[in-house]
Amino acid sequence: MAKGTAWGKAGGYPGGGSGKNQPSQGAWSKGRGGAAGGAWGKGDQDKGSKGEKGEKGEKGEKGKGKRPSPWSFVPLCSDDDPLGLWQISNQVPNEWVDHSHGGKPARERLHVTFALRMNKIDHLDRLEQVCGNSAPVELKVKEFFLSHVDRIRDAEVYCIGVAFESPGLRALKDTWLQGEPDEGSRRSHDPYPTSDGHVSLAYIQASAWQQAKDFVDANRTTLEGRSFMVESIAYEDERREKSHLRLAGEEGPPASVPSQGSRTAGAAAAASLLEVDGSVLEGGGQILRNSLGYAAILGYPVRITKIRAGRKTPGLAAQHLESFKLVRDLTSASLQGDKVGSCEVTFTPKKTKQGSFSTNPKTAGAITLTVQAGLMPLAFAGGTSEVEMRGGTDVDFSPPFDFMQRALIPVVGRMGVKVTAHCLHRGFFPTGGGLVNLYVDGLAGSLKPIVIDKRGHVTKIEAVCYATPPSGWLDEEDVTRTEEDFEPWLLEELADKGAPKPKVQVRCEAEQMPEGQKVFKASFGILVEMSGGGVFHASGGPLDGPKGRGSLYDVWGACAEKALVPLKAQLKTGAALDEHLLDQLILPASLAAGSSRLLGSKELTLHAQTALHIAEKMVPGVNVKVSAQEGLKLVEITGVGRKPGDSPVSPPGDSPGASTLRAALPPGTLSKAPEQLRVDLRGDLGHFSAMQGVRAEAEVGGDCICIQGCEGPDHAVRLRKELEAVCSYYGFPAPRWS
């Protein structure tokens, strides 16, 4: 090869991070948005447990002062260093290392534990059977971290370590463990059922913490995403003699694995489980709700990690947990990590079913956000379902009940979803007390696409002023003044100049106080209908009701002024529909039969961008396009025509075929390349996979690179461009695509 000198460069391709003993981040990786840090850099509590696990595992495997128990494991650095872990370990200066508390494990101690205490005769027989029936499985670096080791009491010690992910290896473990009689026995062999494996590279003195942190940050992007194929499981008997059991089957891990600890999905489910990063873009509850809805409707399991990682209080809040429980109940799903504060949740759905359900976070958690999570799964359940929902109906940073009832429900009704909602009690921050009954009729077929791509002019202005007076009645004078004064005022504020005069309606309503509480609040909600079919909504309040000689008229006026500011700003953008409504229509549009078109403002909200990201990540075959149109953003979504009762699907990229790209290289490019180049390339393809949301692997013998997970023509263009940049760096000729 003419440019084969790339093989001789110090460290190889920078993204591979091999070569000289110094931290580095590759030029290609940095240019493609490699992360400067990850979840392990954001909090020490979770990290500490992982560092601690590695050390405990090693002690359990070897034992001290007695004859060691047989055990099994996956060597990580036996003959070569496929993940570059030994190389990374060697880059840690000895002056950082705390040799009195773990030191730096030797090369042969870098392993992932498979099963401990294999003392019985049938343990080895069972392992041989499991390995003989399974093909090789992938083991991938999930996190490169620095963590405090809580178990060490006499010194402040930190651990540099690596956490792995491998659904295939997890399924193999679960298959082996099903031969154990009870949960206690299973845990004695596998103490950490929620982990796919971890390894400690070095134990660091407190005085070197900052240098170690900088080291981990510098190498994180390079290391995370690297993977290799596990082709055998090592077994060590009581005499410490080792044997290797090859994964000799032609298929993946066994297809039926019973529940083990917190892992409920079988191997088939584990193999098709999709992982969603809960910290990207909006980084909050919308990722949870949309991911949950898609998983329930499409029928495959999802694991959401780094939940609300960037928030002041990371992890699930009570309101999020109620959303998970609702969708769990209507899909008979298994749910792991379902507790307040959890930063990782695994949801494995079964079949959706109609029925009567209830939610109650016992806080002022927004009822409308729980509806967002459950509405579409309920529509796909068939029949009519009823949900009794408690919590907050009007709370900050959430859509009010008025938005759901007057904006969202009518628009999804055009798509074929019939929803009825009754508010029996209003609920406010901080105590909640709201009560809503929701009725959803199951779809008869596919969802209809929705087109709102022209603004038009304002045709109707409808405002509702409500209050929760202690008497249950509104003062007639307040009502009359409000209706008479607000109508001409709103007309002047919101009507389009030169367009036909819109209808204006203002009404005042008394609502029930929160259940069991005496809370006097007042609020204002306004809906603007457009000739182009879109609607806009805004609300002001709730504010405290009047005291002494004050009047509801004045309170409603303050609420209305608060609502008009963002409403007028939205109407001036030229968008065809409310920005909050747009992001909530993306999920049903992606499942509809046909093309939807939604005209947003100049810049899509972060919630809308997040909804589009999750749609592309989770819906096989969906086509999403965002284009500029006269200074605005036009969102075009061609849905997949999902119908109730359709068979479960696999996540995008889970199966080959149209979603697989193949980059063929000239004979000998990979098969005759030096081993170090293959190691570097393997690491860079892992990073490529993580950044592009696909799975890219080198088929060395066939001199080609395969990419699974291509989600359409536009995605294919980006993937080809990026991979050709990688090939160019290595001095490879341009690949031939198929």
* Contact status, residue 379 vs residue 415, Cβ threshold 8 Å: no
The Cβ-side half-sphere exposure at 604, using a 13 Å CA radius, reads 26
Amino acid at 233: I
Catalytic residue check, 320: no
* Contact status, residue 190 vs residue 646, Cβ threshold 8 Å: no
Sequence-distant (≥ 6) Cβ neighbours of residue 213 within 8 angstroms: 41, 146
Residue 428 per-residue DSSP state = B
Round to whole Å and give the CA distance between 70 and 84.
28
* Residue 108, number of CB atoms within 10 A of its CB: 11
Output b/e per residue, 550-588; b: 16+ Cβ within 10 A. Answer: eebbebbbebbebbbeebeebbebebbbbbbbbbbbbbb
* Residue 180, number of CB atoms within 10 A of its CB: 19
* Residue 241, number of CB atoms within 10 A of its CB: 9
* Residue 734, number of CB atoms within 10 A of its CB: 11
Please state the φ and ψ torsions of residue 164, each to the nearest 5 degrees. Answer: -115, 160
Q: Please identify which residue in the block is written with the tokens 């047989």.
A: 70
β strands within 512-592, DSSP E? 521-530, 535-544
Q: Which residues make beta-bridge pairs with 529?
A: 460, 535
Sequence-distant (≥ 6) Cβ neighbours of residue 499 within 8 angstroms: 457, 458
Q: How far is CA 366 from CA 42, 43, 320, 321, 370, in A?
A: 28, 28, 9, 12, 7
* Residue 519, number of CB atoms within 10 A of its CB: 16
What size, in residues, is the chain?
738
Round to whole Å and give the CA distance between 260 and 163.
20
SS3 letters across 115-154 = ECCCCCHHHHHHHHHHHHCCCCEEEEEEEEEEEECCCCCC
* Contact status, residue 163 vs residue 85, Cβ threshold 8 Å: no
Name the nearest CA neighbour of 118 among 169, 63, 79: 63
Catalytic residue among 607, 613, 687, 715: 607
Q: How far is CA 439 from CA 232, 324, 412, in A?
A: 54, 19, 14
Sequence-distant (≥ 6) Cβ neighbours of residue 217 within 8 angstroms: 36, 37, 41
Indicate which residues carry an active-site annotation. 607
